[in-house]
Amino acid sequence: MFLDQIPHLLCGFLLRYLNVLLYASSDNYFFVEAERLLHEGNRRNASVISLMAVRGLAKIIKSSTHYFLGHIMAVVMILESQTLHTHASALMHTSADPLNIAAPAPVSRSVLSAIIFMVCTVGLRVFFKGVKAAIVYNVSVLLLTLFLDKIGRLLFGPRSFVPYAARLLSSILLSSLHLAWTQAMICIPSSSTPASSSLEKSSPSTWRILALPSLFLTAVQILLNNFPRLFLRLSLFLVPEHVLRNAQPWQPKLASLILVTLCRLLLYFPARIALTLTEVRLLPEGDQTIIPSVRGRGARIGELGVFEHSSPGVSGVGVSSGLGTRFGLDLGRWDTVLWLWELHVKNSLVQFAVKAMMGRD
């Protein structure tokens, strides 16, 4: 009967949303989309322009909302929560009753409040802030990855590790471009500041500092993007055949989704926090930003709580304060990870709504 099919329809709808939630909004969204367009164009013998015309409006809406929520808002949330944590830690060291002091939730936890603050700070251009740097970075990564992939295939043949090695190497080589993208997203240009001053720290030492966090984040992204295939192969290899034969179709999918969720919470978000904080330490401290500060205005880079001297009572925030802190990673601040997950859920809801309304993948 039709009523008997309702639970199956609801489960299918839920699993489809979970698929969007866990896979469709990865940090390298632009890279994945461009690569998919190229591969589909080759497979269907169709032009990229015709494919883009078919996808058209849905892609524009999804890309724009993902850029703002998945990139700008995520970076703002990371830096604002870091600032609030550092400020609260400094107060704890000077207060007579430190137990009653806790870092408040960031303004950016509310998307509407964050939008109002940032629009009042820099205007409507905040929705596309840094988009030119994003295009330059993602196009450069795509082209360099394709080039390194061709070189790798010539040297090692069509081995499975070549595309992944090319992607990892390109992220390391172009880490300074990613730094420029982060700066373009959060910093407010000033007419009194020469354009060259923002690049004064771009040097071999900058590349060495960014190499390892960039490598780790890209490795986690590759793992997330390929996890369903890896999980299927491991299931076929490890799980007995009679168990797979008797399993419901949704059970392996649900198990894969749970493992990807854990991977995103335990690896991806901490790696992204680490890279963001490491990058911000390399920016000029006097630059004005769109990050809400404890004083209720856009904070300067030097006020974001990522420098060792920004809070005398707080240790472990310097670039050279140890392995974990050099990544900018504070394992005790998992509330930031949970706030990023909450933002990711909101972003995925928007992506899913657009997909449902436009009827396009």
The answer to whether residues 256 and 231 touch, using CB atoms and an 8 Å cutoff, is: yes
Q: Between the CA of residue 131 and those of 1, 71, 134, 186, 318, what are the distances in Å? A: 51, 10, 5, 12, 29
| Structural contact between residues 284 and 120, judged by C-beta atoms closer than 8 angstroms | no
More confident residue, 269 or 97: 269
Q: What does DSSP assign to residue 189? A: P
Q: Which two tokens stand for residue 312?
A: 């005398």
Per-domain residue ranges of the chain: 2-358
* Per-residue model confidence as pLDDT tens digits over 109-120: 889 999 999 999
Maximum average pLDDT range among 192-206, 257-271, 318-332: 257-271
CA distances to 65, 89, 120, 135, 171 from 179, rounded to whole Å, are 22, 27, 25, 13, 11
AA letter at 195? A
CA distances from residue 191 to 130, 174, 184 in whole angstroms, order as listed:
17, 28, 15
Give how far Cα 234 sits from Cα of 68, 221, 228, 229, 329, Å.
Answer: 36, 19, 10, 9, 31
Helix, coil or strand: residue 304: coil
The predicted model scores a pTM of: 0.76
Rounded to whole angstroms, how far apart are CA atoms 105 and 101?
13
Q: What is the pLDDT of residue 316?
A: 35
Instruction: Please tell me the predicted confidence (pLDDT) of residue 179.
Output: 95
> Which whole-number Å values give the CA distances from 126 to 186, 244, 289, 291, 304, in the listed order?
9, 50, 11, 12, 19
Question: What pLDDT does residue 335 have?
Answer: 82
Q: Is the pLDDT of residue 310 over 50?
A: no
When pLDDT is cut at 50, 70 and 90, the band that residue 331 belongs to is very low
DSSP letters, 98-128, are GGG--PPPPGGGSHHHHHHHHHHHH-GGGGG
Res 157: pLDDT: 80
User: Is the model's pLDDT at 297 over the cut of 90?
Assistant: no
Identify the pLDDT of residue 328: 43
Query: Using 50, 70 and 90 to split pLDDT, how confident is the model at 103?
Result: low
Kindly indicate the confidence band of residue 244, based on its pLDDT and cuts at 50, 70 and 90: low
Task: Give the pLDDT score at 1.
Answer: 46
Q: Which range (38-47, 232-241, 269-278) has the least confidence?
A: 38-47
pLDDT tier at 17 (50, 70, 90 boundaries)? low
By percentage, how much of the chain surpasses pLDDT 90?
A: 28
The reported pLDDT for the residue numbered 275 is 94
pLDDT confidence bin for 332, thresholds 50/70/90? very low
pLDDT at residue 63 in the model: 81
Element (H, E) at 275: helix 269-281
* Three-state DSSP state, 45: coil
Instruction: Answer yes or no: is pLDDT of 50 > 70.
Output: no
Give the pLDDT score at 136.
93
End-to-end CA gap in the chain: 30
Which of the listed ranges 29-33, 150-154, 189-193 does the model predict with the highest average pLDDT? 150-154
